[in-house]
Structure 1
Amino acid sequence: FAVAWATLDDFLFLHSQPLPLKRAGLAEVVKVAVVKDASFFNWLETNASALAVCERDALEYAVEHSALLHASHIACGGDAFELGSSRPLDFGHWAAHYMETMSGYTLGHAEAVSVGMCLDILYSVRKGWLPAAEAERIISVLKTLELPVFHPLLSRRTENGACEVLKGLEAFREHLGGHLTVLMLTGIGWGKDVHEIDAALMEECIREMQEAAGYSVQE
């Protein structure tokens, strides 16, 4: 692997894509804002309605600024080849990757990331790291962008009754080389690395998401 020479934002190609696909990609834009740039998140919040319909100028600014934030972390974060364990750009991804696998890859990556972020946002609140008001702001933006904030796969159980998506933590640990590191939020634009996850508390977060989405326990 090598660090890319450049990031190309082809807006002619971008605007040729279907609205749902363009909107889905905004999940990664929200992700990088909430872990890296509070002022950018404020801009996303202000312009969420324009972004939801993929208004040209707003969409182009969001994509360009997101790309610059991603590239800046890779180029200047001190660990371009991810030899260490801190991977802030993977926020929400431990659950997202596993839900994609559980779905047989019928669930898109961006949609899975949106749901995975919501799960880790609620966990951060329940652990006392993230103010509930800030969590509500982030989830409100995702909803305005018509991105999913729950998926029934979160409620799926294994044959022995365990919450299946939590197997994604072990898969993520292996992906990281054996040492679990998951970014959680302490504020919009700020995070902290944690190395242990309270599975029971994570299940409580899933139930909260399930109830908010109006799904019954059986589902």
Structure 2
Amino acid sequence: MYTHAKNIKMQGKPLSETGKALIMVHGRGATAASIFSLAAELDVADFTLYAPQATQNSWYPYSFMAPSEHNQPALNSALELLSETVENIKSQGIGSEHIYLLGFSQGACLTAEFATRNAQRFGGLCILTGGLIGQQIDLSNYQGNFVGTPVLITTGNPDPHVPVSRVEETVAILTEKGAHVTKKIYVGRQHTISSEEIALAKKILKGEL
């Protein structure tokens, strides 16, 4: 088992110029650089971009639907790295309503789990093929209220890693905690990010969804 080194990549204009941050969370086997490559399609020139890098290129070793204790201590370490990233941004005078998070696959699951454990008014969340973590969802982990945060959550049907049932459970919890959720299930879509998901993510980042 492993924990994560504090390794957070940055890209774009300084936060003092943009006043907005987008935290991009890569998937299993990927890198901060690879998730940054998505930025070219998202019209984020007016954001400061952050991408934490997972040790061994994986946020936790097993499926997100394995018992949570099987993914420790990597999972808690990953959640802590996201927390440190958000707190660093806030310490520079940026309110949570100007902080956006986007993740794909394993990174989407981590994004969903972190945000729901620390629910507040974020700028927006893009959970691209992901859901809350654990063999069963433990509601006692989740604190706060999203206060209308716009959320995009997606998966394929079927998807080899993220079942529709877990996305449905996640949507119910996000909604109960005050998020404004847009759910998209794509029949027959491969485990990837589609052009429609990119278009919807752009709307989240522009405050149009």
Q: Quick check: TM above 0.5? A: no
Bigger radius of gyration: 1
Q: Which has the higher helix share?
A: 1
Calculate the TM-score normalised by the size of structure 2. Answer: 0.28
Q: Which has the higher strand share?
A: 2
Instruction: Say which structure, 1 or 2, has more relative contact order (CA 8 Å, 6+ apart).
Output: 1
Calculate the TM-score normalised by the size of structure 1. Answer: 0.27
